[in-house]
Every structure is written in structure tokens, then in C-alpha cells.
Amino acid sequence: MEDFAQIISPAHPYCRQFRQVFPIAVDPQADMDIAFTLVVHDDIRQIARLLRMIYRINNYYCIHIDKRSSIEFQLAMRGVVTCFGANVELVPVEERTAGAESSCHVKVLD
């Protein structure tokens, strides 16, 4: 988990290594604008792999970290999100509620 928590920019060696292992699929013909809501709690490596597999540049990803998650996990999630573009966002701590989806939907609709 600490590997991901050390990531502070997309140029970080862990991000580059991560992108080599799980390359971003780019299909210029694709027109699938999909908004994903992920509610996560633990197992940072599994979440990172899942996000890498479903990630597409033209989609939007809103990630809600469970309030019960450890600080280490939260820092690691910030690192993982840093490896992706502006279309992957974490719900801010002050907005984390039981209704994670509504926080994400407001951002998508704006």
C-alpha cells in the first residue's frame, strides 16, 4: 500500500511501471462516455488493477472512499488516482456520506 501512497505525479516511476504492466486502451473510434462510481474500502492493489482494466480516456470515474478506511488506504488511493487523468476523481473527505452516488452524479451533471 505504501508504494501507491508515495505517488505524487503521473511521472512517478510507480505510475510509469503501472502503465507498462496495464497499458491504457485507446480507441479513437470509441464513443462510450460512461460515468463510473466506485465505492472502495480496502485492497488497494485489487482496486488499482480494476481501475486500470476499465479505464478509458473518454469515461468519467468518481471514487468514494469508505469513511472506515484506514488513513494509509486513503493516501494510497490518492496516489493511484494521480496516475490517471482528470477524469478520475476522489470524493472529497467532507462530502463522504452514505449516498456516494449522489455526490458523483452532481459532478457529472455540472
* The pLDDT value given to residue 17: 78
* The pLDDT value given to residue 52: 86
Cα–Cα distance measured from residue 30 to residue 14, given in angstroms and rounded to the nearest whole number: 28
SS3 42: coil
pLDDT at 106 over 60: no
Q: Which residue has the higher pLDDT, 19 or 81?
A: 81
Q: Which residue has the higher pLDDT, 84 or 96?
A: 84
pLDDT band at 44 (very low <50, low <70, confident <90, very high): very high
Q: Which residue has the higher pLDDT, 101 or 30?
A: 30
Cα angle, residue 107 at apex, residues 23 and 58 outer, rounded to 5°: 30
Give me the domain span that covers residue 41: 2-25+33-109
CB under 8 Å, gap of 24 or more: what pairs does 13-20 form? 14/79, 14/83, 15/82, 15/83, 18/48, 18/52, 18/83, 19/83
pLDDT at 73 over 90: yes
Q: Which residue has the higher pLDDT, 29 or 33?
A: 33
Q: How many domains is the chain built from?
A: 1
Rounded percentage of the chain residues whose pLDDT exceeds 70: 72
Averaged pLDDT score across all residues of the chain: 79
- Grid cell listed for 27: 480507441
